[in-house]
Structure 1
C-alpha cells in the first residue's frame, strides 16, 4: 500500500529536546528528592506523559511537580533544544511533494509551539495533535486516530515516525506502518525490539523509503 500520510512524534524525533527533558527532570526531582536521581534514572521517563511519570513517583504531588518541570523547561527551552540532521529538508520536501503530514505528541500545546517556532517547522504541518486534544495518550491509538480524521487519511496509507516504543506501539495499534529513528536516546536496539516497519538512520531516509 502506497504511503501518502506521515505522522511524526516531536521530541527526540523532529527536534532534539533530549538534553532539555533530562535537565528538566533532574532539576525537578532533585528539588523534591535531593541526590536520589541521576541521568540514567530519568531516561525511562522520556516518552510517557508527565502525569504518568510523576504519578508513579508521588501521586499526591503530581500537579506541583509538573508545574516545576514546565517552568524550568520553558525557561531553558531555546538554549538547550537543537536540530537533528536532515529533518528540516526532509519535512520541507514531503510538503512540497504533497504528502499529508502531522505531529502526534504527548506534550502540551504551549511547549509544542515553542519547539515548532524554534525549529522553523511549523508552516509544514497540516495537523498537530497534543496531549490537550485527547483523553488517552500513546501507545493508545486515540491521538493517531484523531490526526488521521483531521487529515482525512487512511491508516493503511500512513507511516508513524518516532523515537520511542510508545510511538511504534501507537502506530501498530492504529493500523499504520511505523518507523523508528536510530538516533533515539534509548538506542537503536531498544526500538528495534518493538518491530517497527522501518528504522531510519537519518530523517532523509524517509524520502528513499517513500
Structure 2
C-alpha cells in the first residue's frame, strides 16, 4: 500500500532540543545531587518520559524534580532550540504534496507548542499527539494509533520517523513502516541497531522514499 501519512517524533527528530534537554537534566540533577552527574550520564534519559526517568533516580521526589526541570526548560527554550538541516523544506514539500502529517511525542502540549511555534513548523501538522493525550507513552503503540485514527489513516499507509528506540518500537508495535534519523544524539549505530525500515541521513531523504503523492 502506498504511503500517504508521515508521523514524526519532535525532540531530536524535527527540532534540535538535545542541548536544551541535557542542560535541563543537569540543572535539575545538580539541584538535588551537586556534581554527581556529567553530560554523558544524561544520554539514557533522552526518550523516556520525565516521570519514568526521575522515578529511577528518586521515586519520592518525582513531581518536584519534574517541576524544576520544566521551569528551567521553558525559560531556556528559545535560547537553546535549533532546527535540523532540510527539516522545514521537507515538511513543507510533503504538506504541499498532500501527505497527512502528524507529530507523536512524549512531551506535554505546552512545551510542544513552544518548539513548533519557534521553528514555524506548527503550520504543517494536522495532528499532534502529546503525553497529555494518552494513557501509555511510546514505545506503546497507543500514541501512534491515536494519531493515525485522527488522520483517518491505516498503519500500512504510514511511516513513523524518530531518533530513539521508543519511536521505532512504537511504529513497529502499531504496524507502520519506520525511519530512523542518523542525527540521533545517541549515534547512527544506536538507531540502526533497532532495524528501522529506513535510515535518513537528512530529512529530505524522505522525499524519494514516499515519492510523489
The TM-score normalised by the length of structure 2 is 0.98
SS of residue paired to 1:139: coil
What does the per-residue CA deviation read over 1:155-206, in whole Å, with 9 as the maximum and x for residues that have no partner? 0110000000000000000000000000000001001110000000000000
1:24 lines up with 2:24 in the alignment = yes
Deviation at 1:53, TM superposition (A): 0.2
* Secondary structure, counterpart of 2:103 in structure 1: strand
Q: Secondary structure at the match of 2:123?
A: helix
**What's the counterpart of residue 137 of structure 1?**
137
**Superposition deviation, residue 83 in structure 1:** 0.7
Counterpart residue number, 1:102 = 102
Aligned residues: 210
Q: Which consecutive unaligned segments of at least 5 residues does structure 1 have?
A: none
Deviations 1:77-125 (A, max 9, x none): 0000011000000000000000000000000000000000000000100
Question: What is the CA–CA distance in structure 2 between the aligned matches of 1:20 and 1:138, rounded to whole Å?
Answer: 21
TM-score computed with the length of structure 1 as normaliser: 0.99
SS at match of 2:102: strand
**Aligned 1:1-210 pairs, distance under 5 A:** 1-210=1-210
Gaps of at least 5 residues in structure 2 are none
Q: Shift of the alpha carbon at 1:2?
A: 1.1
Report the Cα distance in structure 1 between the residues aligned to 2:180 and 2:147, rounded to whole angstroms.
19
Cα distance in 2 for partners of 1:174, 1:52 equals 22
Q: Deviations over 1:129-158 (max 9, x none)?
A: 000000000000000010010000010110
Q: RMSD between aligned alpha carbons?
A: 0.4
Tell me the distance in 1 between the aligned counterparts of 2:188 and 2:3.
24
- CA distance in 2: counterparts of 1:177 and 1:89, whole angstroms: 22
For residues 79 and 26 of structure 2, the distance between their equivalents in structure 1, rounded to whole angstroms, comes to 17
